[in-house]
Amino acid sequence: MLTVALPKGELLKNSIRLLQAVGLDFSAFLDSGNRQLQIPDASGKAKGLLVRTQDVPVYVEYGQAQLGIVGYDVLREKKPQVAQLVDLQFGHCRMSVAVKESSSYRLALELPPHGRVASKYVNCAWEFFHSLDLPVEIVPLYGSVELGPITGMSEAIVDLVSTGRTLRENGLTEIEILFESTARLIAHPLSYRLNTGNLHSWVEQLRSAIVSQ
């Protein structure tokens, strides 16, 4: 039986809609009264796992799910051993450097050497500033990273930005984009290579569903 790891949060609704297009219905996950974290598809062809976004590639990497849907940002940060198969073309956002609007910094390279940058995406932030040959201290935060510059703890943040509204409401502005992110279809590498559970067919159906949308 095919097992699909689905992400809680903003990607869930579009993920379920896409899977419905190929005959897999996990819409029970959208029921606010449902507390189940694993449900079978009505057809009996598959089951879905509802997990935190950051955990999707973990379940796929360790073979508990053959397919998963997760943001490219998570893949860049975690670098899991999974096969990245399809850009699903929803969940558009970007990883950006942001600073206080009142600051004089308008490029990442203008930040002071050995300054502080707050982020929950520690690896993405480190790689970006390393590529600029600009030594900075990455401060790991897992709540509201916007408070870093507001409180003076950091000169900048690296975070996901969608509309930019949260930044604006907190007096911050983007000064550089690291990369764009969308939802991606991932697979367990060995399962995909061996075509376990007719995995190739499911992937091709999903590709076709994206094209037809």
Delineate the domains of the chain, giving CATH numbers in brackets.
2-91+182-212 (3.40.190.10), 93-180 (3.40.190.10)
Mean pLDDT of 141-146: 93
Query: What pTM did the predictor assign?
Result: 0.93
**Which amino acid appears at position 198 of this protein?**
N
Rounded Cα gap, residues 139 and 157, in angstroms:
9
pLDDT at 166 over 90: yes
Query: How many CB atoms sit inside 10 A of residue 59's CB?
Result: 22
Q: What is the mean pLDDT of the chain?
A: 95
Mean pLDDT of 165-193: 97
Percent residues over pLDDT 90 in the chain: 91
pLDDT at 212 over 80: no
Mean pLDDT of 38-56: 92
Say if CB 128 and CB 108 are below 8 A apart: yes
- Phi-psi region at 20: left, alpha or beta (left = phi > 0; alpha = psi -120 to 50): alpha
The pLDDT of residue 147 is 96
